[in-house]
Amino acid sequence: MDAALPHSDARARRNVAVLALAQALLGAQMPMIFTIGGLAGQSLAANPCWATLPISLIVFGSMTSAPWMSALMQRRGRRAGFFAGTAGGAAGALIGAYALSVASFPLFLLGSYLTGIYMSAQGFYRFAAADTASAAFQPRAISYVLAGGLVAAVLGPQMVKLTADAALVPFLGTYAAVFLINLIGAGLFVFLEIPKPPASAPGRDGGRTRMELLQDPVIAVAVICGMVSYALMNLVMTSTPLAVVGCGFDQGMAADVVSAHVLAMFAPSFFTGHLIARFGVRPIMATGLAILAGAGAVALMGVDVEHFFVALILLGIGWNFGFIGATSMLASATRPEEKGRAQGMNDLIVFGGVTVASLASGGLMNCAGGSAVEGWTAVNLAMAPFLALAGGALIWLTLRAPKTV
């Protein structure tokens, strides 16, 4: 952490440490599930076009949980919401393990949906990091918490290697491990010190409505860029294990590619906040979109191991710059009494886009061509119009309000 921070950020530093640990331990379940979810779905689904539907249900669960999760945190505090997240993750893993044991695709989808409750809660770690931080420390606090994902990036795929074949039923051991991770990780939130948001004073309206928030150009562009960054990352990452295995490599190689990707998602977090503080949030977001475009270009160049690694590393870095930038922009544009409403609305829209992307990913990968190479090409070509949307929104904001956030 930064030793030069003001004394007022002492509590913020403590909370950041707790949240970074949660990101490291509890966050490991996401690369675990994203590595095997499509492969497990492929083994259970009658139609291979639905192979990534379990991952889509996770994201859909996150999207539909975001509004009530945000409301719960607004009323009861962050700790209550994070406990609810680990409960959802544990229940989802338990049901997923049972579904694998009885070869039930519908039950597996139910477990995936419940896992989405954890994913929704994890999405609020970044906002919680900013709750007790000074304005100067906020971008770095968000970055430091996301940096905890470095441990998750290593731990998750290695746990897949250890557990995927640990039981007679493939992948059942991985879901059992995810269940234990949620039980153990829940204890971290006992040490979180974030006060409940203040209730609206009598006579005050409690901040802007959701529609009024979306009419703010800064908030609208933050939501668009956050949605595009996350949705495109998910679009490509969801298909990656299927593409790697479909191109003749084994599950271990797929786990290694995902591990490199998740490392690239979180490693820049040590300096992304500093870059935002020095150069401003918009240039960093624009850089992230450009790097995402570079990831798609590399993926289209070939399907050798090197292409997969480089493309997925660039995908992770681009997500980091785009998503942290969008989060910082949103946090700076909302008042305390409307943060819960704005964050819930943001994650509803962001994960709505991610849900569509994950649904499209399986269809593009398995049903857009006659081979894994053709499917992988379709996935990466699909990035172009959405990058144009986010880039255009950022240019529009800069031309409209060049001196604001």
- Each residue's pLDDT tens digit, 187-222: 999 999 888 776 655 545 567 888 888 899 999 999
Contact 347, 210 (CB under 8 A): no
State which H helix or E strand residue 131 sits in: helix 125-131
Q: What does the pLDDT average to over 386-392?
A: 96
Average pLDDT of every residue of the chain: 87
Does residue 4 fall inside a structural domain?
A: no
Tell me the pLDDT band of 1, cut-offs 50, 70 and 90: very low
Residue 52 is given by DSSP the state T
Tell me the pLDDT band of 395, cut-offs 50, 70 and 90: very high
Predicted pLDDT of residue 204: 54
Angle formed by the axes of helices 339-367 and 217-246, to 10°? 30
Predicted pLDDT of residue 195: 84
Does residue 197 fall inside a structural domain?
A: no
Helix (H, G, I), strand (E, B) or coil at 232: helix
Q: What does the pLDDT average to over 367-391?
A: 90
CA trace torsion 134, 15, 261, 292 (10° rounding): -20
Does residue 198 fall inside a structural domain?
A: no
Q: Which residue has the higher pLDDT, 127 or 395?
A: 395
- Percent of the residues in the chain that have a pLDDT greater than 70, as a whole number: 95
Q: What is the distance between the terminal CA atoms of the chain, rounded to a whole angstrom?
A: 25
CATH number at residue 91: 1.20.1250.20
* pLDDT tens readout for residues 131-180: 888 877 887 888 888 888 888 878 888 898 889 888 888 889 999 999 99
Among the residue ranges 9-23, 224-238, 266-280, the one predicted with the least confidence is: 266-280
Residue 5 is given by DSSP the state S
Predicted pLDDT of residue 5: 47
Q: Which residue has the higher pLDDT, 167 or 106?
A: 106
* pLDDT tens readout for residues 303-355: 999 999 999 999 999 999 999 899 889 988 888 778 778 888 888 898 888 88
State which H helix or E strand residue 17 sits in: helix 10-25
Give CA separation, 216 vs 166, 213, 279, 348, in Å: 52, 5, 23, 17
Reply yes or no on whether the pLDDT at 121 is more than 70. yes
Based on its alpha-carbon atoms, the radius of gyration of the chain, rounded to whole angstroms, reads: 20
Closest CA to 73 of 195, 217, 193: 195
Predicted pLDDT of residue 258: 84
Contact 71, 366 (CB under 8 A): no
Among the residue ranges 1-5, 66-70, 117-121, 225-229, the one predicted with the least confidence is: 1-5
Reply yes or no on whether the pLDDT at 7 is more than 70. no
Q: Which residue has the higher pLDDT, 49 or 156?
A: 156
Does residue 268 fall inside a structural domain?
A: yes
Q: How many domains does the chain have?
A: 1
Reply yes or no on whether the pLDDT at 58 is more than 50. yes
Predicted pLDDT of residue 202: 52
Among the residue ranges 179-188, 222-231, 252-261, 298-307, the one predicted with the least confidence is: 252-261
- Percent of the residues in the chain that have a pLDDT greater than 90, as a whole number: 44
Q: Where are the alpha helices (DSSP H) in 134-268?
A: 138-147, 149-163, 172-185, 210-214, 217-246, 251-266
CA distance 267 to 284: 15
Q: Could you tell me the residue range of the domain that residue 280 belongs to?
A: 9-190+209-400
Closest CA to 41 of 98, 105, 97: 105
Predicted pLDDT of residue 84: 96
Predicted pLDDT of residue 29: 92
Predicted pLDDT of residue 87: 97
Predicted pLDDT of residue 44: 87
Does residue 50 fall inside a structural domain?
A: yes
Amino acid in the structure at residue 389: L
Does residue 202 fall inside a structural domain?
A: no
Predicted pLDDT of residue 315: 97
Does residue 44 fall inside a structural domain?
A: yes
Does residue 1 fall inside a structural domain?
A: no
Residue 46 is given by DSSP the state S
Helix (H, G, I), strand (E, B) or coil at 208: coil
Among the residue ranges 30-34, 39-43, 114-118, the one predicted with the least confidence is: 39-43
* Burial of 80: CB neighbours in 10 Å, binned 0-12, 13-18, 19+: middle
Amino acid in the structure at residue 98: Y
Contact 140, 20 (CB under 8 A): no
